[in-house]
Amino acid sequence: MSGPELQLWVSDTLKRLSHSSFRASFSLSAHDRDYARSKGKETINRHAHELLRGRIGDAMPVKDGKQTPYRGHPVFTAQHATAVCCRSCIQKWHHLPKGQELSDEEIDMLSALVMAWIERDLAAHPLR
């Protein structure tokens, strides 16, 4: 999935997630917004890829279901908001089965979703 197809999937998925009161309850802390803005989109995107690959990319991630903190990095918050926090949520919301390693394309797809959510949060909370 790439280009317009990926953008449509991200848009549709964010809309679907907005109907969950739990997923819709998340927003970045002021500290995480400052961090994201100071590091820039490219760096945060790299972090998203690294964190997703390292924490949820394996077929059987260590401490699955408890591996993603709720705070400490903008990507962590975005993972919970976008249901990219553990393999059970990924299977339920994104239909990527547990028990098999995520491909590079799947990591790219989930990272794009996380980044879109972060960008939307930053736009909703402009600098004063």
Domain boundaries, the chain: 27-124
CB 28 within 8 A of CB 36: yes
pLDDT tens-digit series, residues 71-112? 899 999 999 999 999 999 999 999 999 999 999 999 999 999
pTM over 0.75, yes/no: yes
Task: Tell whether the model's pLDDT for residue 128 goes beyond 80.
Answer: no
pLDDT band at 20 (very low <50, low <70, confident <90, very high): very high
Token pair for 80: 């919970």
Asked whether the beta carbons of 79 and 89 are under 8 A apart, the reply is: no
The pLDDT value given to residue 118: 98
What type of residue is 94? Answer: H
Residue 68 has pLDDT above 80, yes or no: yes
